[in-house]
């Protein structure tokens, strides 16, 4: 799904070579539950526990269908805006609001998923999963690539074959990459909230008493903030490209809208 690619422009990649952590798409799809579902793969599960994991994942994914549909629509609107150079602000705002509401409505399903996993696993398994999540958080925080480097990679992937002129390349670096620094406070706040949320939930998961609530399972990925950064990025890039280039980039967006 290209929304994943584009939202990654404004998000920290969530991968670690030696620690199982969810990718961006999975976390957007399943919310905070994704970390626990992936961590469960690091422990040995009985047949019944495997079935529980499958059932819980299916239920969370089903409740995420409206989130995904709205996200796909948003990316489609972004592609239309890139192609035409004119963005439908009203439609974009309505779609973004629908996505946010769907993500919030998913909260009870995430709470239920975590409670059921906690009840279905042994204390040793829960402790092991909590350690895996903690290691994943540490691994993510220790990434050597900066947000700017990640943005550069995403920009390069979108413009590699559209024939940027020297002037356009310079404008990309000036208008997009340099302006990207204004988002640094948001990134820092999101990273801090993410680590605090995941750390608290994983510690609770390891214990006997575990009481997640809709409020504290709200996804650390701020869909509204990331969507706004996505739109700002698309607007700026569209203004740099000529009509032919815009059409190529828009086609790439549409081609990858269902990318998994």
Inside any domain, residue 107: yes
Q: What is the pLDDT of residues 54-80, one digit of tens each?
A: 999 999 988 888 888 898 899 999 999
pLDDT score at 224: 80
Inside any domain, residue 248: yes
Inside any domain, residue 260: no
Inside any domain, residue 35: yes
Give the count of domains, the chain: 1
pLDDT score at 50: 95
Q: What is the pLDDT of residues 10-23, one digit of tens each?
A: 444 333 345 778 87
pLDDT score at 10: 44
110: Cβ–Cβ under 8 A, 6 or more apart, which residues?
30, 31, 32, 33, 60, 63, 212, 214, 217
pLDDT score at 65: 87
pLDDT score at 46: 96
pLDDT score at 140: 67
Q: Is the pTM of this model over 0.95?
A: no
Q: What are phi and psi of 143, to 5 degrees?
A: -60, 140
Residue 234: how many CB atoms within 10 A of its CB? 24
The DSSP element (H or E) to which 229 belongs, if any, is helix 223-240
Inside any domain, residue 218: yes
HSE-CB at 221 with a 13 A cutoff on CA atoms is: 30
Longest Cα–Cα distance of the chain, Å, equals: 61
Inside any domain, residue 163: yes
Q: Closest Cα to residue 238, out of 115, 230, 258?
A: 230
247: Cβ–Cβ under 8 A, 6 or more apart, which residues?
83
Q: What is d(CA 95, CA 63) in angstroms, rounded to the nearest whole number?
A: 17
Helix (H, G, I), strand (E, B) or coil at 47: helix
Inside any domain, residue 217: yes
Triad 80, 3, 130: Cα angle to 5°: 165
Instruction: Kindly list the distances between the CA atom of residue 153 and the CA atoms of 56, 156, 163, 221, in Å, as whole numbers in the listed order.
Output: 35, 5, 16, 20
pLDDT score at 142: 57
256: Cβ–Cβ under 8 A, 6 or more apart, which residues?
1, 2, 5
Range of the domain at 202: 2-255
pLDDT score at 130: 93
pLDDT score at 148: 65
Q: State which residues of the chain have pLDDT below 70.
A: 1-18, 140-148, 150, 184, 219-222, 257-260
């Amino acid at each position: 799904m290209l929304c994943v690619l584009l939202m990654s422009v404004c998000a920290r990649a969530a991968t670690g070579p030696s620690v199982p952590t969810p990718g961006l798409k999975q976390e957007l799809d399943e919310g905070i539950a994704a970390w626990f579902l992936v961590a469960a793969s690091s422990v040995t599960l009985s047949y019944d526990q495997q079935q529980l994991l499958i059932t819980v994942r299916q239920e969370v994914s089903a409740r995420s269908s409206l989130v995904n549909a709205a996200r796909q629509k948003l990316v489609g609107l972004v592609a239309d805006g890139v192609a035409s150079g004119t963005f439908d602000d009203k439609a974009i705002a309505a779609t973004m609001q629908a996505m946010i509401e769907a993500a919030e409505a998913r909260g009870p399903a995430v709470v239920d998923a975590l409670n059921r996993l906690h009840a279905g696993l042994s204390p040793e398994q829960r402790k092991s999963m909590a350690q895996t999540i903690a290691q994943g958080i540490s691994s993510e925080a220790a990434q050597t690539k900066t947000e700017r480097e990640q943005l550069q990679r995403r920009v390069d992937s979108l413009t590699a074959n559209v024939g940027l002129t020297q002037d356009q390349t310079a404008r990309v670096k000036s208008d997009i990459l340099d302006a990207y620094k204004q988002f640094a406070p948001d990134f820092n706040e999101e990273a801090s909230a993410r680590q605090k949320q995941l750390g608290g939930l994983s510690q609770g998961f390891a214990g006997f008493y575990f009481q997640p609530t809709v409020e504290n399972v709200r996804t650390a990925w701020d869909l509204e903030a990331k969507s706004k950064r996505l739109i700002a990025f698309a607007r700026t890039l569209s203004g740099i490209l000529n009509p032919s280039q815009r059409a190529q980039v828009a086609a790439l967006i549409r081609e990858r809208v269902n990318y998994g």
